[in-house]
Amino acid sequence: MAKELVVYFSVYGTAKIVAEEIAKQTGADIAEIEPVVPYDSNRDHYNALARLAKKEHDEDQRPAIKNEIDIAAYDRIYIGYPMWWYTFPMIIYTFFDKYDFSGKGVRADLMKRHFTMTA
Ligand SMILES: Cc1cc2nc3c(=O)[nH]c(=O)nc-3n(C[C@H](O)[C@H](O)[C@H](O)COP(=O)(O)O)c2cc1C
């Protein structure tokens, strides 16, 4: 049986809820992408987060990830994230740059705005 992992990044908790549900329904392991510099999850500060996210995007930044995620141990990986400025948060690009997905085969579908599935 394929070993599955749900990897997610979430600031306000929505992608986390979906990630947990997918892990529950598939029996996959689950891991969170944790930024070195945490994002402000206070919704009253949404405009500041929007500005920061736009800056990261415009400058093609790669915000650092604090934790290691052992993707090599898995055959199929689900990746969950919020839609930020019509695309992935830049930390998802850090995740893609950091790990080698070759040999796993990649299929990407956008599921309900938040989830890309690679298989
Ligand atoms: C900086 C920022 C940019 C966003 N840009 C978009 C967008 O372009 N399109 C969209 O549908 N939602 C956008 N949203 C809404 C988020 O996708 C939505 O709040 C999401 O549920 C947050 O996920 P989370 O709860 O896991 O952090 C944006 C939210 C933030 C904070």
DSSP codes, 10-28: -SSSHHHHHHHHHHHHH--
Q: Mutate which of 8, 34, 41, 83 to test ligand 1's pocket (most atoms within 8 Å of Cβ)?
A: 83
Which residues lie below 8 Å from residue 31, measured CB to CB, with a gap of 6+?
5, 6, 7, 8, 67, 69
pLDDT digits (tens, 9 = 90+) for 57-86: 999 999 999 999 998 888 888 888 898 998
Which residues lie below 8 Å from residue 78, measured CB to CB, with a gap of 6+?
4, 5, 6, 7, 19, 22, 26, 28, 115, 116, 117, 118
Cβ(50) – ligand 1 distance below 6 Å: yes
pLDDT-above-90 percentage for the chain: 60
Q: What is the pLDDT of residue 108?
A: 47
**Residue 1 pLDDT more than 60?**
yes
| Contact by Cβ (8 Å): 1, 98 | no
- Global pTM reads 0.91
pLDDT digits (tens, 9 = 90+) for 53-65: 999 999 999 999 9
Q: What is the pLDDT of residue 116?
A: 55
CATH of 11-118, one of 3.30.1370.60, 3.20.20.70, 3.40.50.720, 3.40.50.360: 3.40.50.360
Order of strands across the sheet that contains 4-8:
29-32, 4-8, 76-80, 115-118, 110-111
Higher-pLDDT residue of 103, 12: 12
